[in-house]
Amino acid sequence: MTSSLVFYSNSELLEGPVFDTKHNLLYFVSILEGLVYCYNPETKEVLSIKLDSPVGSLFLRGHKKVLAASKNGFFEINFNTLNAQFEFQIDIKNTVRFNDGITDTNGRIIVGTMGYPEVKTNLGQVFSYHNGNYKTIIENTTISNGLAFSLDNKYLYFIDTPTNKVARYAYNLENGTVTFDSYVIAFSGQSNPDGMCIDQNGMLWIAEWNGACVSKWNPENGEQLEVIKIPCTNVTSCCFDNHSNLYVTTAKSNSQNDQFGGGLFYIELNTFD
């Protein structure tokens, strides 16, 4: 399986891909530029809206609508009108920004933070936001990254990148609280786990920073099942589309061979008509 370049605009750090299966649209961000993108796989149209601070993650709202978690607040982005409307803010330190996020089946927003402009140990945390209220559910994180729910919603998988591990938390869907269960995957090479998603069989797909790949893992036994190379050193995140194929975001690196770092790639795992 090979990856194909879908989009490139010389971005330093593409992240946060999320696919709207109902409307067949992909959304992603260029964090440091504060850009939110909407990509139509059928027409190849790319729309963008710029916010006034770094934006880490997106949450689906409706047709061509997402909620964006930026350092200066959460904004509803409407690609029908190309407008951005401030909605709310979670009180965070001036020295952090929002990074990866996800929603649970009850509509709660789960979103993590990390040091900005400088990464600092244990400065981040993971928040849960619902109906105007928010709380911290994981504390003392450094680079809060990949988030994924198990298929039965009993567990939340979470990556704090410098640990080089995937943690599993028991998740209470009624009140949105978590309890640490165990570490289920450990990285031992030169790469670091970044963003991730889960497939229809419960396997985790993890983007590897400094690893030039996306890897597939079984969280039940910690076994690595597959590695798919990407022609970029720093791979940041991934998500599935309607055909169970992968969109992958990347970032620039110092490698001379890294021609399209910061590009969006597509990996066809399954053939379809």
pLDDT digits (tens, 9 = 90+) for 5-25: 999 999 999 999 999 999 999
Backbone angles phi, psi at 51, to 5 degrees: -100, 170
Task: Tell me what pLDDT residue 158 has.
Answer: 98
Cβ-in-10-Å burial (0-12, 13-18, 19+) of 20 comes to buried
Model confidence pLDDT, tens digit, residues 20-57: 999 999 999 999 999 999 999 999 999 999 999 999 99
Mean pLDDT of all residues in the chain? 96
pLDDT tens digit sequence for 236-272: 999 999 999 999 999 999 887 788 999 999 999 975 4
Q: Look at residue 273 in the predicted model and tell me its pLDDT.
A: 41
Q: Are 238 and 246 in contact (CB under 8 A)?
A: yes
Question: What are the C-alpha distances in Å from 75 to residues 27, 32, 229, 237, 266?
Answer: 14, 16, 34, 22, 27
pLDDT for 2? 81
Q: How far apart are CA 255 and CA 245, in angstroms?
A: 27
Distance of CA 263 to the CA centre of its chain: 15
- How high is the pLDDT of residue 271? 58
Give the residue extent of every domain in the chain. Answer: 3-267
pLDDT at 195: 98
**How much is the average pLDDT of 132-156?**
97
Which residues does the annotation mark as catalytic?
Answer: 194
The CATH fold of domain 3-267? Neuraminidase (2.120.10)
What confidence score (pLDDT) does residue 115 get? 97
Q: Average pLDDT, stretch 225-230?
A: 96
Q: Which pLDDT score is estimated for 1? A: 75
The per-residue pLDDT for range 59-87, each reduced to its tens digit, is 999 999 999 999 999 999 999 999 999 99
Q: Give mean pLDDT, residues 166-190.
A: 97
pLDDT value of position 270? 77
